[in-house]
């Protein structure tokens, strides 16, 4: 019987699932609600256990070296940019991860953010909270009839395509993989390269994995090639967009609006972007629905007995 520790507090929101977990793996150590465990705190919590069911806890060289009993790391998270497969391999630790486990929640959020940014909802809402009414403050725009670019047409990007169908938009799909059979199902989807995506998108939503090929991709130079007056949405991961450049482009109006759920440094409470009237932001809530977390926690449980050797250089570690 594996000795399991769970250094994430979300099972407390699902008491029946927690009871099911504890019954299947007696003696499981559950964390208490609080700050995400990292470093020494994580080591102390996991000491003596051979299996960890985790969220965004980081398994650095120091953490793994201090936990020689650890053999399995099963992830509830939908991304793995906090995991280095080479470190796990050096310490003989297997992992579990299920891609796309939160695709419905994130795709719905992305669609909402397209509308929010186009309608300038953040600005108009702030006016109301300041005790004013709308007055002559300009206009927003409709999503209908726009050209929407989707950068990354994996699990979440495909769901965005489906959700956009009633909106009468033209969709530009950009991915290094060829999803031709999927695109053929939708006459409003056009496969394009990155340059064309950037030049033509009225709204561009990012759904890429965070890895060495995507970190910093939306540099100042790339942002300069975006269609003037466009809207940029990121519900994927922080660190792929140059945030100082984004601030400059939002101030100049080259980018008319942005809606981000993720940032290069999180928590992002002091990020200068948050003070801009055309920036809509949220604290990494893409998967924060009861449905998503139920699925992610169940996936973490499943991975205890189904973990595998991570392969550096193989998706998503490329």
Task: Confirm whether 316 is domain-assigned.
Answer: no
Judgement on whether residues 167 and 54 belong to the same structural domain of the protein: no
Cα 238 to Cα 150, 211, 224, 243, 246, distances in angstroms:
17, 11, 19, 9, 13
Instruction: State the pTM of this model.
Output: 0.92
pLDDT on residue 203: 98
- The SS3 assignment for 58 reads coil
Task: Confirm whether 315 is domain-assigned.
Answer: no
Judgement on whether residues 218 and 119 belong to the same structural domain of the protein: yes
| Those residues with Cβ within 8 angstroms of residue 305's Cβ, 6 or more apart along the chain or in another chain | none
| Position 204 pLDDT exceeds 70 | yes
Judgement on whether residues 26 and 80 belong to the same structural domain of the protein: yes
Judgement on whether residues 171 and 85 belong to the same structural domain of the protein: no
Q: Which domain holds residue 169?
A: 103-281
Q: Which of 120, 155, 237, 243 is catalytic?
A: 237
Q: Which of 284, 298, 302, 305 is catalytic?
A: 284
Hey, which residues does 204 pair with through a beta bridge? 149, 232
Peptide bond before 17: cis, by omega within 30 degrees of 0?
A: no
Q: Which of 82, 196, 266, 298 is catalytic?
A: 266
Judgement on whether residues 295 and 228 belong to the same structural domain of the protein: no
Q: How confident is the model at residue 133 (pLDDT cuts 50, 70, 90)?
A: confident
Task: Confirm whether 308 is domain-assigned.
Answer: no
Which CATH number covers residue 55? Answer: 3.40.50.720
Task: Confirm whether 220 is domain-assigned.
Answer: yes
pLDDT on residue 136: 65
Q: Distance between the two ends of the chain, CA-based, in angstroms?
A: 34
Q: How confident is the model at residue 130 (pLDDT cuts 50, 70, 90)?
A: confident
Judgement on whether residues 109 and 89 belong to the same structural domain of the protein: no
| Position 316 pLDDT exceeds 90 | no
Instruction: Judge contact between 83 and 59, C-beta under 8 A.
Output: yes
Neighbours of 222 (CB within 10 A): 16
| 237 is annotated as an active-site residue | yes
| 266 is annotated as an active-site residue | yes
Mean pLDDT of the chain: 95
Judgement on whether residues 75 and 170 belong to the same structural domain of the protein: no
Residue-wise pLDDT for 13-29, tens only, equals 999 999 999 999 999 99
Residue-wise pLDDT for 227-260, tens only, equals 999 999 999 999 999 999 999 999 999 999 999 9
Task: Confirm whether 310 is domain-assigned.
Answer: no
pLDDT on residue 318: 73
User: What total of structural domains would you count in the chain?
Assistant: 2
Cα gap 208→232, rounded to integer Å? 14
């Amino acid at each position: 019987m594996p000795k399991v520790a769970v250094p994430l507090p979300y099972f407390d929101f699902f008491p029946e699932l927690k009871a099911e977990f504890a019954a299947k793996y007696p003696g499981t150590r559950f964390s208490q609600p609080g700050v995400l465990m990292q470093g020494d705190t994580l080591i102390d919590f996991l000491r003596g256990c051979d299996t960890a069911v985790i969220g965004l806890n980081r398994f650095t060289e120091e953490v793994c070296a201090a936990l020689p009993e650890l053999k399995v790391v099963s992830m509830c998270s939908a991304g793995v940019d906090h995991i280095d497969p080479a470190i796990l391999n050096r310490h003989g630790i297997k992992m579990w991860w299920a891609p796309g486990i939160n695709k419905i929640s994130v795709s719905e959020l992305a669609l909402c953010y397209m509308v929010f940014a186009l309608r300038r909802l953040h600005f108009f809402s702030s006016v109301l909270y300041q005790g004013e009414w709308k007055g002559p403050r300009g206009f927003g725009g409709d999503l209908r009839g726009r050209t929407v670019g989707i950068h990354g047409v994996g699990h979440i990007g495909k769901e965005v395509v489906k959700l956009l169908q009633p909106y009468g938009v033209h969709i530009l799909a950009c991915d290094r993989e060829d999803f031709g059979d999927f695109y053929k199902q939708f006459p409003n989807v056009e496969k394009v390269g990155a340059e064309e995506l950037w030049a033509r998108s009225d709204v561009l939503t990012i759904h890429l994995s965070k890895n060495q090929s995507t970190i910093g991709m939306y540099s100042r130079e790339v942002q300069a090639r975006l269609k003037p007056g466009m809207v940029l949405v990121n519900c994927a991961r922080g660190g792929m967009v140059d945030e100082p450049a984004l601030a400059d482009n939002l101030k100049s109006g080259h980018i008319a609006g942005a809606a981000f759920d993720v940032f290069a440094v999180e928590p992002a409470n002091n990020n200068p972007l948050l003070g801009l009237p055309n920036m809509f932001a949220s604290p990494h809530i893409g998967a924060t629905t009861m449905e998503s977390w139920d699925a992610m926690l169940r996936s973490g449980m499943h991975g205890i007995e189904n973990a595998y050797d991570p392969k550096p250089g193989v998706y998503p570690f490329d």
